[in-house]
Amino acid sequence: MITNTELERKGNQFPGPITTFSQKADTFNIASNNGVLLQITVIRDSMFRFRYATEGNFPPDFSYALDKNATHGYNHLEYQETPDTYIIKTAKLVLHIDRISLKKRIYDIDGTLINEDEAGFHWEFSYEHGSDIVKMSKHAQKMESYYGLGDKPMHFNLKGKRVENWVTDQYAFGKDQDPLYKAIPFYVGLHSDKAYGIFFDNTFRTFFDFCQERRDTTSFWAQGGEMNYYFIYGPGIDRVVSSYTDLTGKPEMPPLWALGFHQSKWSYYPENNVREVASKFRELRIPCDAIYLDIDYMDGFRCFTWNNNYFPDPKKMIDELEEDGFKTVAIIDPGIKIDKDYDIYKEALEKDYFCKRADGPLMKGKVWPGECNFPDFTNPKVREWWADLYHELIGETGVHGVWNDMNEPAVMEVPTKTFPLDVRHDYDGHPCSHRKAHNIYGMQMARATYHGVKKYTYPKRPFIITRSAYSGAQRYCSSWTGDNVATWEHLWVANQQIQRMCLSGMSFIGTDIGGFAEQPTGELFSRWVQLGVFHPFCRVHSSGDHGDQEPWSFDEEVTNIVRDYVEMRYELLPYLYTMFWEYAQDGIPMIKPLVYFDQEDHQTFYRTDEFIFGNDILVCPILEPNAQGRRMYIPRGHWYNYWSDEVVEGGKELWVDADINKIPLFVRSGAMIPKYPVQQYVGEKKIETLTLDVYYKEGKGKAKVYEDAQDGYDYKKGRFSMRSFKLTGKSNELIIQQHKEGKFVTEYDTITLKFHGLPFKVTAIELDNQLDTSIKFNGEATLEITKDFTELHLIGE
């Protein structure tokens, strides 16, 4: 038989000339002569949505990524026509669309070219899958840099890289290995000191090429679905990231204990082992707020069960751990063991809640319990059912938080490590194959878990962790970077991943401190803790196969170093909590890479190690053994060495001493850093004073301190406390002003100010415009005043 292989549609295809152009409110609809449609929606003055179709119509508009509360609206919108182009103009952007090719150029209002199509939109029909491979290519501008895209374990600046989004269980992954556990199809471009972002909201397997194939071209494409992307203009990286985070959603405030130090292992069992670990923390006076139960707490790894041999009375254990200040966090995986005597399995089977193959049988795969079926978390009824399964674990037994693992979904003993692509999903009433649902499966499991934990912990706040995530998962949970390795290279990788995730809208993120696989040396563990306490989520986790990894598992020196740094984190809890408030309110990343901090300083474009913790603390980890210090880049401005109070001028590299018990730390001049006393766990002590470390600056500084009940939802009713401080420093005086918002009354009555770098001797103190001789310095540079002051004036000679 001879087959004619000449196909009508072959290779890349492109839009033809525009035939119609129309406007309806904020949306422009464009059609070409070969059936291509382009729909442009003006989301804001600084944000466009571009949506393409190739068959003359659009499928239903649906996204798991977008937040229904995202900001919309613009101040100005007009369009005009020329012989060659259509021009759409907002208050911040000018968009040119070529009449012949549909290629686009985007300028800012000052006329700077920000983003320009190269080939623009094009597509190729896949006869294997029966759908389009949709593609977009852009001209790379001179000296353009690229950042973002989630958990990629590679150099922070992605220029010259090609990456893939297909969430994958990668045990003991290596540097530059891709893809990993997250699919965050958002990146930031920076050139001409101006930034923009692109969010490619497509859940199929996607790819991004940042000038690897062609040094003057960047491109992104997907193996199915729509070419559907959002263009977000800054010009600051801060505005780009905040706008993207607003679009895909911001989290609620976590309970304060979730920001403490957590200890985990695969696995702590039986019960006496859990109690021994908890007791040792208290004995050694190392603060800790949570202890984790991995899969061995279950009966044969069946979800929502307990192994009664290991844990005969889990509620009693959890209650007694809580009396000692420990919250219990338990793991839940998606695989449901095939067992006719297992009630959860029987119920899901009866209600038809499991994923199915294309020709009807249930999706079957091996994970920890053995052969399992898997709930279809893209079905709203399944999510509701799953949420209710937490009634016993959370509502009755008293577990405080849930950790969703293996939800890529991971499947053992198959080359792909996941479901076959023919598995079918409901996709919230838009039925599809696993090709489309794979990247959001874990996110939808975390979503269901969030609603269940929230329901049964109420009136307290939920705490959920997920390994797999897609854009928008930050609305439901925190995350960690997966199964890393106890090596110095992975310490470097951890630093890249956390900075990248924070820039990608998911700030509540951490790593397995010390490494999950293999065994760290005491030195590596110490250096990892020194970095990890400055990450938003702070947890030691390891595979028990490789030995113990508790703070006391090495030697007394390591134990003391760990204690010192964990205590530092607990002192900084009000600073960290305020960081989270800014993230939850305004989408401000909790960790700020140097390029985010100062995008006009070109020395920051390729810096990988240094970062800003919150707004004012500069951190640079030690990333190699036997180091007595390192060279690091100090950003522009003046900075105090945290350890010595020496002031250095930034904008250059410096050598910084850092023996085994030190990490390079600097505080920005003009900063006011809030601190609590050290506690062994959140809530152990009554906070009797708020300490404010004030770093003198000749000029102005500012700070905020957010506080509330540390749990519950009264903060949403205005029962919070927001203190805003302004600092004005002169050669012989210092003024600190305070403005207070919110109805929450803090339990402390005084604020203790510790002054760093005062260049004058204080001869008089005015409080609220009155000379106050009763206020005295305690020690060299510390004084205590009422928390309700509005202005403090130090006068010197």
Cβ atoms of 211 and 160 closer than 8 Å: yes
Q: Residue 438: what are its φ and ψ, rounded to 5°?
A: -55, -50
- Residue from 672, 518, 598, 475 nearest 174 by CA: 518
Beta bridge partners of 32: 18
- Residue from 202, 80, 211, 68 nearest 139 by CA: 211
The residues, ordered by sequence, that sit 6+ positions from 131 with a Cβ below 8 Å of its Cβ are 125, 224, 225
How many CB atoms are located within 10 Å of the residue 325 CB?
21
Give the whole-angstrom CA distance, residue 48 versus residue 27.
10
Block residue for tokens 């399964």: 389
Beta bridge partners of 785: 751
| CA distance from start to end of the chain | 102
Cβ atoms of 256 and 573 closer than 8 Å: yes
CA dihedral 726, 499, 204, 14 (to 10 degrees): 80
What ranges in 197-338 are assigned the alpha helix state H?
237-248, 271-284, 314-323
Cis amide leading into 83 (omega within 30) = no
How many CB atoms are located within 10 Å of the residue 21 CB?
15
DSSP 3-state of 464: strand
- Residue from 667, 692, 793, 695 nearest 736 by CA: 793
Block residue for tokens 């692109």: 198
Cβ atoms of 596 and 241 closer than 8 Å: yes
Amino acid at 748: Y
How many CB atoms are located within 10 Å of the residue 433 CB?
20
How many CB atoms are located within 10 Å of the residue 482 CB?
24
Residue positions annotated with a catalytic role: 405, 408, 483
How many CB atoms are located within 10 Å of the residue 711 CB?
19
DSSP 3-state of 737: strand
